[in-house]
Structure 1
Amino acid sequence: MNKSRRKTKFLVLLTMFCSIQVVLMLTPLGYIPIGPVRATTMHIPVILAGILLGVKGGAITGLVFGISSVITNTIMPTITSFVFTPFYSLGDYHGNLMSLVIAIGPRVLLGVLAAFIYKWFKNKELKVRLIGSGLTALVCTMIHSILVLGMIYLFFGPSYAQAKGVEASALFGLLLTIITTNSILEAVLATVIITPLTKVLEPITKKVI
C-alpha cells in the first residue's frame, strides 16, 4: 500500500473512531449516571484506536473524549462537574484551568499508552495478540481512572469532598471505593469488548501504521 492510500485509510478509520465518540457523547451510552458520578464507555474507542492506529490515532481519539467530557459536564452538569469543566460553578464549587487538564490530559494519555503497551504484542501470533489487547484494555482503563481520580484529589480535594458530603479526611477512601467499583467494572467491560474487536479489525488496519 502506497503512502497516499495508507494516509487516506488512516484518516477514514480515525474519523470512524472519533464519530463513535460523538455518538456516545450524544446518547446515554457514553456517560452513564451512577448516583452523583458518571461511569463511561468512552474510554473503549480510545484504547481501541491506540491499539489499531498507533500513538497518533489514540491521542486524537482521546482528545475527542476529553473535549466531550468538558462539553457534557458543562451542558448537563452534576454537582461534581466543576472538576471537569471551568465553565461550571455551583455555590462555592468552581472549575478552573486544572479542570481542563483533568478532563483532557488523562484521556489523551490513555490513547498513547494503549499504543505503546500493545506494541509489545503487535507482531506476535494471534493468541498472544488477543491476550495483549485484553491486557492493554485492562491496564489502560485502570491507569486512566487512577490518574483522573488522583488529579481530582490533588487539585480539588477539599471542594470535591464537600460536594460529595464527606469529610476531607475521608476523601481518599471514597476515591479508592470508586476505583474498586466503577473503575474495575469499566476495565472489565473494556477488556470484554476490545479483545474480540481487535481480532476482527486488526487485519483491516494492519498496513495503516
Structure 2
Amino acid sequence: MYRNGTAHNSRGLVQLALFSAIIIAMAMVPFLGYIPLGFMRATIIHIPVILGSVLLGPRKGAVLGGVFGLTSLVNNTVAPNVTSFVFTPFYSLGDVHGSWASLVIVLVPRILVGVLPYFVFKGLKRLLGSTPGKLTVSLGAAGFVGSMTNTLLVMNLIFVFFGESYGAAKGIAADAVYPFILSIIGLQGVPEAIVATIIVALVGRPLLRFTSSKV
C-alpha cells in the first residue's frame, strides 16, 4: 500500500511538472500561447491551467495557476509595455509605479483559474452524469468558467487598483475607463472563453483516461 501511495504521488508530481513545463513554454515562445482569430489574438496559455485543475485537482491546479501568474510577472518585468505596471511591481511608467496590487492582479486570478474549474466540472459531473456527451458538457463548462475567471478578475482588479493610471497609459478619459474594460471583456474575453470551452472539451476527455485524479 505504501508503495502504491508513493507511485501515485510520484505520478502526480510528474503530471504537475509536465503541465508546468507546457505553461512555461507557451509563455516564453512567441505566439505559442495565442491563436490568431483575425480581429484579435485569443489567449490560450490559461488552458493548461484549466485542464490541470480538472485532471489533477484544485491543489495542483492552484500551483499551475501560480506558475501562469509568475510567467506573466516575468514577461511584464523583462519585456514591459505601457500597461505592465498593473502586472509587476518592478516596472514604472513616468510617475506611475507597480505595487503590491500588481502582485494581486497577476497572481490571484491565475491561481483561481487553477481552482474553480475543478469544482465546476465535479459539480456538473455529479449533476449530469458521466456519459461521454455529458462529460464533454461538464468539461466545456469548466473551460468557460476558468477562462472568464481570468478575464473578469484581472480586468476588474485593474480598474479597482489602477483605473485612472491604466486609462492614462491607454490615453482614455477617466470616465471612459470602465466602459473600455467592459469592451475588452466582451470583445476579447468572451471569444477566449469560447476557445477555451472547445479546447478543454475536446482535449479533456482523452486526457481523463491517463490521469490518476479521481474525477
TM-score (ref. length: structure 1): 0.92
Q: Are 1:4 and 2:6 an aligned pair?
A: yes
Determine the C-alpha separation between the residues in 2 that align with 1:72 and 1:132.
33
* Count of equivalent residues: 206
Letter in 2 for 1:4: T
Determine the C-alpha separation between the residues in 2 that align with 1:33 and 1:84.
23
Q: What's the % identity of the aligned pairs? A: 43
CA RMSD of aligned residues (A): 2.0
Match for 2:89 among 86, 97, 106? 86
Deviation digits for residues 85-134 of structure 1 (CA, Å, limit 9, x no counterpart)? 00011212210011011000000011110111111244622211110000
Match for 1:208 among 203, 207, 213? 213
Is the alpha carbon distance of 1:87 and 1:33 closer, same or farther for their aligned partners in structure 2, counting shifts above 3 Å? farther
Determine the C-alpha separation between the residues in 2 that align with 1:97 and 1:40.
25
Q: Are 1:135 and 2:137 an aligned pair?
A: no
Match for 2:76 among 66, 73, 76? 73
Q: Which runs of 5+ in 1 are unaligned?
A: none
TM-score (ref. length: structure 2): 0.90
- The runs of at least 4 aligned residues of structure 1 exceeding 3 Å deviation read 31-34
Cross-structure match for 1:185 = 191
Determine the C-alpha separation between the residues in 1 that align with 2:75 and 2:36.
12
Deviation digits for residues 116-173 of structure 1 (CA, Å, limit 9, x no counterpart)? 1111244622211110000111122112211110100000010001001011100011
Cross-structure match for 1:24 = 26
Q: Which runs of 5+ in 2 are unaligned?
A: none
Cross-structure match for 2:15 = 13
Determine the C-alpha separation between the residues in 2 that align with 1:40 and 1:163.
22
Contact 1:25–1:31 (CA under 8 A) maintained in structure 2: no
Offset, 1:175:
0.3
Determine the C-alpha separation between the residues in 1 that align with 2:34 and 2:8.
33
Cross-structure match for 2:171 = 165
Q: Are 1:194 and 2:200 an aligned pair?
A: yes
Determine the C-alpha separation between the residues in 2 that align with 1:190 and 1:67.
21
Offset, 1:188:
1.4
Is the alpha carbon distance of 1:201 and 1:33 closer, same or farther for their aligned partners in structure 2, counting shifts above 3 Å? closer
Is the alpha carbon distance of 1:103 and 1:174 closer, same or farther for their aligned partners in structure 2, counting shifts above 3 Å? same
Determine the C-alpha separation between the residues in 2 that align with 1:177 and 1:22.
29
Determine the C-alpha separation between the residues in 1 that align with 2:8 and 2:67.
22
Contact 2:76–2:84 (CA under 8 A) maintained in structure 1: yes
Which stretch shows the higher mean deviation, 186-195 or 98-107? 186-195
Contact 1:9–1:208 (CA under 8 A) maintained in structure 2: no
Which stretch shows the higher mean deviation, 186-195 or 147-156? 186-195
Is the alpha carbon distance of 1:122 and 1:54 closer, same or farther for their aligned partners in structure 2, counting shifts above 3 Å? farther
